[in-house]
Amino acid sequence: MIDRIRRGRPLAGVALAAATVVVFAGARPVSAALTPSVAADTVRFALVPALDLPVEGVETAATTGEATRSAADLAAISLLDRLAIAGSAGQSGRLRATVVAPAMLAESLDATGVALLGLGEAGVHTIVDPRDGSTHSVMTLVPFSARDARGRIGAYRIGSWIGERSPARASTMPAGFIKVTAENANTQISEHFRLRDFLTKDQANVWPKYLVLRMEVVDKLELMIDEMRLMGHDVQHVTVMSGFRTPQYNGQGAGRASDSRHQYGDAADIFVDNRRAGRMDDLTGDGRVDLKDARVISQAAERVERKYPSLVGGVGGYPATSAHPPFVHVDVRGHRARWGSP
């Protein structure tokens, strides 16, 4: 059980809607339920009363003699264990980052813990587990309200969403933005993907940049890599041709949907590129790179959705042009959608 907690994978038989954490009040262990709920790209944690539950096997500072650790170490252990029990490594077991809003973070740690770990400031905070040296990044959001009247944060152009002009769509708005700097852009947010992979492909020399990203889509991509390997393809690297698109950037491209899922951080256009040559690999081994290779990716997405219904979404294949290789769009919009060639 401890191993599962450290890896941050959901505990077997425990729904993510009601996991259990053991906290200590004085010298007496107290059971509480840790309830995560997804709300506009963030994970919310709230401690609520629960029935007494067995504490055997749950590793805490008190049960492992770690009371001598520094306050910062204990705060890190507390946060990492809470995130882990809630499934911070995703269904793939390969996620290495969590997106949170400041107000929601305050519900996971007291003000002292937030201050000790430096989590109150918007940005990417990599927490080192003092027990084994493993890391997990907490990405504290910049509020959505931080944009100015021109749709910018500082010099970075973002634009506006349809939901800002349509009350019926207001609930679809992002909660905020991940602040990406030149220094943190290479943060490993999962086994195969970095933060920079999902940035809008414009304003190359403007820093910081601002990103909307749902970790569910990263989780789905990791699971698709697993499926392609099970299908006999030695996938080592997947290129994200397009991840998040700011509304102002999305509006510049011909043929792009006006309300593209890319604007909500839950979509990615991808191709397999083990050689990192900027083009799709010949996955079928027929000596050609075409839609048959894209179909392999689409089939992997189908397999993932059958196994993990919570990650259902859109899948669409696109042929090569002079500007790009064949690729597949994948998203986690919450309902099945299919289009394109494969």
99, 225, 229, 317 from 89: Cα distances, Å: 12, 16, 20, 28
Task: Round the average pLDDT of the chain to a whole number and report it.
Answer: 83
Give per-residue pLDDT as tens, 37-52: 333 333 333 322 222 3
Cβ-contact 5, 59 below 8 angstroms: yes
10: pLDDT strictly greater than 80? no
Higher per-residue confidence, 253 vs 162: 162
Cβ atoms within 10 A of the Cβ of 194, count?
17
83: pLDDT strictly greater than 80? yes
Region of poorest pLDDT, from 20-29, 216-225, 289-298: 20-29
337: pLDDT strictly greater than 70? yes
pLDDT band at 105 (very low <50, low <70, confident <90, very high): confident
> How much is the pLDDT for 271?
98
Q: What is the mean pLDDT of residues 55-74?
A: 60
- Look up the CATH number of domain 142-340: 3.30.1380.10
296: pLDDT strictly greater than 70? yes
pLDDT band at 342 (very low <50, low <70, confident <90, very high): low
Region of poorest pLDDT, from 53-57, 178-182, 235-239, 273-277: 53-57
Structural domain spans, the chain: 2-140, 142-340
What is the dihedral sign for C-alpha 86, 90, 95, 100? negative
**What percentage of the chain has pLDDT greater than the value 70?**
78
pLDDT band at 109 (very low <50, low <70, confident <90, very high): confident
* Amino acid occupying residue 269: D
167: pLDDT strictly greater than 90? no
Q: What is the mean pLDDT of residues 202-211?
A: 97
Q: What is the mean pLDDT of residues 13-36?
A: 32
List, edge to edge, every strand of the sheet that includes 142-143: 142-143, 176-180, 209-211
Q: What is the mean pLDDT of residues 163-187?
A: 92
pLDDT band at 259 (very low <50, low <70, confident <90, very high): confident
200: pLDDT strictly greater than 50? yes
Q: What is the mean pLDDT of residues 212-219?
A: 98
17: pLDDT strictly greater than 90? no
Q: What is the mean pLDDT of residues 55-76?
A: 63
> How much is the pLDDT for 49?
28
Q: Which range is most confident: 16-20, 71-75, 212-216, 251-255? A: 212-216
> How much is the pLDDT for 257?
74
Among residues 37, 156, 160, 145, the alpha carbon closest in space to that of 100 is found at 37
pLDDT band at 102 (very low <50, low <70, confident <90, very high): confident
> How much is the pLDDT for 255?
61
Region of poorest pLDDT, from 15-24, 144-153, 177-186: 15-24
